[in-house]
Amino acid sequence: MAHDKPASGTQKTDVPPAALGFGRGPRQQVEKVRAKQTGATLLRIWRYLARQRRSLLLVSLLVLCGGALALTGPYLLGRAIDVFILERRLDGLAQLCLLLLGVYGAGSLISWLQTYVMAGVASRTVWEMRGDLFGHLQQLPLRFFDRTTHGELMSRTTNDMDNVSTTLNQSLVQLMNSVVMLVGSLTLMLILNVWLTLVAVVTIPVVMLLTKQIAKRTKRYFREQQEHLGQLNGFIEETVSGQKAVKLMGRERRASRDFRDISIKLRDSGTRAQILSGTIGPVMNMMNHFNFILIAVVGGWMALNEWTTIGVIVSFLTYSRQFSGPVNELANQYNMIQAGVAGAERVFEILDTEREYEGSEQEAETAVVPVQGQVEFRNVSFGYGDHPILRNVSFSAKPGDMIALVGPTGAGKTTIINLLTRFYDIREGEIRVDGRDIRQLDKLGLRRQLGIVLQDGYLFSDTIRENIRYGRLDATDEEVQRAAELGGANAFIRKLPNGYDTVLSAEGGNLSHGQRQLVTIARAILADPAILILDEATSSVDTRTEMHIQEAMATLMKGRTSFVIAHRLSTIREATQILVIRGGEVIERGTHEELLAQEGFYARLHAGQFHEEVS
């Protein structure tokens, strides 16, 4: 068996994930994993940013221009004090003040332009990342979705991506500005006075040490915060989807209690992250004030001894602010970047999960290979992890045959279908379609020749017309209506207020179960598959509705190889071959009459159902 690579950050389990249905196996909570290296994640983000070189170049130029203007202001201010104010010269002072006003005004305009351009860069970058993430999710194997909660996936596609977006919008330009101001201020400070520069940088090692210690802890808490947020989203999604079960079992208080427990974990991790990251600001301000006082005292002493001028000291104090400000900002931005990196890491974990479809991206457009419908299982054995499900299963079906799979829950009926559709690959034996091993066939090409009607057919929040058209996207309205007529759905659709344009609620909740089944059958008819799979399609409907569905399925099965997982044995009397499966093995096979004549397990099962129906 070809094992699928488990998703990074998800819990590995040996429980059969889809033994009882397609992608409806038990959900596993995501376990905590250690974060990858920040540098590697930042490099991957940069690869997305690098696709917008022109915009980034423009932002860089704006940052340089803005930094140059910001650095010019203090110098002009110092000159105004030394040349004009202290010398009591009024000629030229007005012009210098206007020049200062123009410098600061232009700086504000450039700052706005930086934000404007960077907002577009961040939005487009996140748009591409989110598109890659969703596109990759469509190509992941079913096993991945069996092991990961829907809420966890929602958290990664929304909350984590929002963290990345916030970081790019607020941190990237600020980071560039901080670097420019840091280098520029330090250079001008050295030009103005080397000794005062040494005084100004004396607190830098302390700041760096404190930042490193705080950031080391905040990264862990930001990571935990995102994980708990994913768990909370998963719990909300499952509880809201299962409200009927919650109310039926009277578990409202239990649900609220479980929600509170997860919410407390999220609150605690988020509180710790915010408190720790919030300590950087006050610590930096304290160090800045200390540095400012130190420069003022030393500078004043130097001015008294005529080693420097008052204008230089004023310029220097401003530059020291501009120097310590970026240091402070770099410390704060580092914490914000940690939150963005934590979100990006979780996104990249999904993108690093091995795809189901091998080969190039063009495989999504693989042409459909014609299939006649001959299917053969040769000594097929399979298990989920260490749990064996099927043992040496062998049977064959000719084009047009109807193969019925019968047996107790957990016998392996749905597993046979999962293997035929290549949701999972076999460990031992062979499965052949038209004489070719399905492991040598393209998965997409094979699945386009399969039509599946499940016990709980899924409908999307769209019109009935588009839900049927999902079977073949290029179908015309007339073809959609024809498929509905053949599937027995046209009659009830016509009675709806908006007919085929009636918009369905989530999962088709505004239709009855039988009506949803008829819509999914119409969808399968429109797809015109060579091989048809019916997974207990009538087990949850009343007898009258079952008759309508049986008529629709009879139309659907004409001329097609059909596999029917049956709960009600009355629905498979006309089957070409009935396979009785128990404990993962085929214990009986034959037609309905042949199996009754054998007086074995099938006969006893039939007799039990017959007595139930009579009583």
pLDDT (mean) for 147-158: 78
Residue 324 is classified by DSSP as H
Residue 357 lies in a domain: no
- Under 8 Å between Cβ of 521 and 556: yes
Burial of 587 (0-12, 13-18, 19+ CB in 10 A): middle
Who wins on pLDDT, 373 or 23? 373
**Per-residue pLDDT, 14:** 35
**Per-residue pLDDT, 336:** 72
- Of the pLDDT bands very low, low, confident and very high (cuts 50, 70, 90), residue 540 is low
Residue 36 lies in a domain: no
The answer on pLDDT for 367 being more than 90 is no
Q: Mark whether 585 and 496 lie in a shared domain.
A: no
Lowest mean pLDDT among 155-159, 256-260, 600-604: 155-159
**Per-residue pLDDT, 579:** 92
The answer on pLDDT for 536 being more than 60 is yes
Q: How far is CA 323 from the centre of its chain?
A: 41
Q: Mark whether 110 and 194 lie in a shared domain.
A: yes
* C-beta atoms surrounding 112 within 10 Å: 12
Residue 289 lies in a domain: yes
Residue 578 lies in a domain: yes
- Under 8 Å between Cβ of 449 and 53: no
* C-beta atoms surrounding 108 within 10 Å: 12
Query: What whole-number distance in Å separates Cα of residue 12 and Cα of residue 552?
Result: 41
- Tell me: the pLDDT tens digits for 184-200? 878 877 877 788 777 77
The answer on pLDDT for 16 being more than 50 is no
- Which long-range contacts (C-beta less than 8 Å, at least 24 apart) are formed by 431-439? 431/375, 431/376, 431/377, 431/378, 431/380, 432/374, 432/375, 432/376, 432/378, 433/371, 433/374, 433/375, 433/531, 434/371, 434/372, 434/373, 434/374, 435/374, 435/376, 439/2
> Cα-flanking dihedrals φ and ψ of residue 388, to 5°?
-65, 135
- Tell me: the pLDDT tens digits for 58-69? 988 988 888 888
Query: What whole-number distance in Å separates Cα of residue 111 and Cα of residue 114?
Result: 5
- Under 8 Å between Cβ of 203 and 262: no
**Per-residue pLDDT, 611:** 54
The answer on pLDDT for 31 being more than 70 is no
Q: Does residue 474 come out as left (phi exceeding 0), alpha (psi in the -120 to 50 range) or beta?
A: alpha
Q: Mark whether 295 and 411 lie in a shared domain.
A: no
Residue 24 lies in a domain: no
Residue 66 is classified by DSSP as H
- Of the pLDDT bands very low, low, confident and very high (cuts 50, 70, 90), residue 610 is low
Residue 273 lies in a domain: yes
- Under 8 Å between Cβ of 273 and 222: yes
- Among residues 101, 53, 110, the alpha carbon closest in space to that of 77 is found at 101
* C-beta atoms surrounding 187 within 10 Å: 13
Q: Mark whether 412 and 499 lie in a shared domain.
A: no
**Per-residue pLDDT, 13:** 35
The answer on pLDDT for 328 being more than 70 is no
Pick from 2-11, 359-368, 524-533 the range whose average pLDDT is largest. 524-533
Q: Tell me, what CATH number does 322's domain have?
A: 1.20.1560.10
- Under 8 Å between Cβ of 133 and 350: yes
- In the sheet with 436-437, reading across from the earlier edge strand, the strands are 387-397, 375-384, 428-433, 436-437
**Per-residue pLDDT, 29:** 34
- Tell me: the pLDDT tens digits for 575-588? 889 999 988 899 98
Helix (H) / strand (E) element for 369: namely: none
- Tell me: the pLDDT tens digits for 114-148? 888 888 888 888 888 888 888 888 888 877 887 77
Q: Tell me, what CATH number does 491's domain have?
A: 3.40.50.300
**Per-residue pLDDT, 247:** 67
Query: What whole-number distance in Å separates Cα of residue 112 and Cα of residue 118?
Result: 10
Query: What whole-number distance in Å separates Cα of residue 242 and Cα of residue 240?
Result: 5
The answer on pLDDT for 450 being more than 60 is yes
Q: Mark whether 59 and 196 lie in a shared domain.
A: yes
Query: What whole-number distance in Å separates Cα of residue 99 and Cα of residue 88?
Result: 19
Q: Mark whether 393 and 504 lie in a shared domain.
A: no
* C-beta atoms surrounding 534 within 10 Å: 28
204-241 vs 159-167: helix crossing angle, rounded to 10: 150
Average pLDDT score over the chain: 77
454 three-state secondary structure? coil
Q: Mark whether 75 and 92 lie in a shared domain.
A: yes
Q: Which of 505, 528, 551 finishes a domain?
A: 528
Residue 13 lies in a domain: no
The answer on pLDDT for 152 being more than 60 is yes
Q: Mark whether 121 and 241 lie in a shared domain.
A: yes
**Per-residue pLDDT, 1:** 37
Q: Mark whether 178 and 296 lie in a shared domain.
A: yes
The structural domain count of the chain equals: 3
**Per-residue pLDDT, 310:** 74
Q: Which tokens in the block code for residue 394?
A: 């062998």
Residue 160 is classified by DSSP as H
Lowest mean pLDDT among 348-352, 435-439, 536-540, 586-590: 536-540
Q: Mark whether 376 and 344 lie in a shared domain.
A: no
Residue 232 lies in a domain: yes
Domain of 574 in residue numbering reads as: 371-449+532-541+561-615
Looking at the chain, the whole-number percentage of residues with pLDDT higher than 70 is 82
Q: Which tokens in the block code for residue 499?
A: 């007919």
- Of the pLDDT bands very low, low, confident and very high (cuts 50, 70, 90), residue 608 is confident
- Tell me: the pLDDT tens digits for 270-327? 887 777 777 766 777 777 777 777 777 777 787 777 777 777 777 777 777 777 667 6
Q: Mark whether 252 and 125 lie in a shared domain.
A: yes
Query: Which amino acid, 611?
Result: H
**Per-residue pLDDT, 378:** 92
The answer on pLDDT for 17 being more than 60 is no
- Tell me: the pLDDT tens digits for 203-240? 777 777 776 777 667 777 777 887 888 788 778 877 77
Q: How many CA atoms lie within 13 A of 554 on its CB side?
A: 11
Q: Mark whether 436 and 481 lie in a shared domain.
A: no
- The whole-model pTM stands at 0.63
